[in-house]
Amino acid sequence: MKKWMLVPALAGVLAIGGVALANDSVSSTEAAKNQLITLKKAKEVALQKVDGIITDVELEKDDNRYYYDIELQDDKFEYDVEVDAVTGEIIKFEKEYDDDENHVQTGEKQDVTSVSEQDRKKGKLSKEQVLAIAKQHASGEVTDFELDDYKYEIEMRDGNTEYDLEIHAYSGVILSFEMDEG
C-alpha cells in the first residue's frame, strides 16, 4: 500500500521540478516562435562594432527580451556586446582595458594603472580635454564627473542611453567604456 502512494508523489515532484528547470532555459522552439535573428547575423553586428575576436556567445532572455551576449577581445581591450535577438540592434556595449596577461593578439602592453615620469611632468589633462575625449565616444549631458587617483570617471545621459567612461587622467587613454540603452 505504501508503494502505491510513493510512486504518484515521486512523479509529481519530478514533474514540478522539470517544469521549473524548463522555464529557465531558452528552447529552440520558443526562440523560433519569436523569429530571432541568426547567430551568424548577431556575430556580424558585433564585429561591425568591434574589430576583435569573438571569445563567447550566449543567447539569453531577460524580462521577456531575447538577446545575444557576445564577448570579444583585441590586444588591449575586452568587449561585451548585447545584440537584440529580434531587431539586431546593439542594446548594450561595454569596453574595458584588458589588464590580463593573456591577450588574444600580441602587442606591446601599456601600463595604464600607473603614471609615468613623463606624464607627471606634463600634468593631468584638464576637464575640457577629458570631456572632448569622452564626447568622441558618447553624446548627451554629463551627469557625473570625478577624478579618482589616475583616472577620470564620467557619466553621461542621452535620452534613454547611459554612458560610463573611465579615462586615464594623464594620457587620455579610455580605460573603460559602457553604453546601456535603457
CA distance 46 to 48: 5
Full-model pTM: 0.57
Under DSSP, the state recorded for 101 is S
CA distance 18 to 20: 5
For the chain, 182 residues long, give each residue's pLDDT as a single digit of tens.
454 544 444 444 444 444 333 344 455 555 555 689 999 999 999 999 998 889 999 999 988 899 999 999 988 889 999 999 999 999 999 988 876 644 444 334 445 556 777 777 778 899 999 999 999 988 999 999 999 878 899 999 999 999 999 998 888 888 888 888 86
Reported CATH class of domain 28-98 = alpha beta
CA distance 178 to 76: 16
Q: Any idea which fold 112-182 has?
A: Nuclear Transport Factor 2; Chain: A, (3.10.450)
**Sheet of 65-73, strands arranged across:** 53-62, 65-73, 77-84, 90-97, 174-181, 161-168, 151-158, 141-148
Domains 28-98 and 112-182 share a fold: yes
Structural domain boundaries of the chain?
28-98, 112-182
Whole-number pLDDT of residue 17: 45
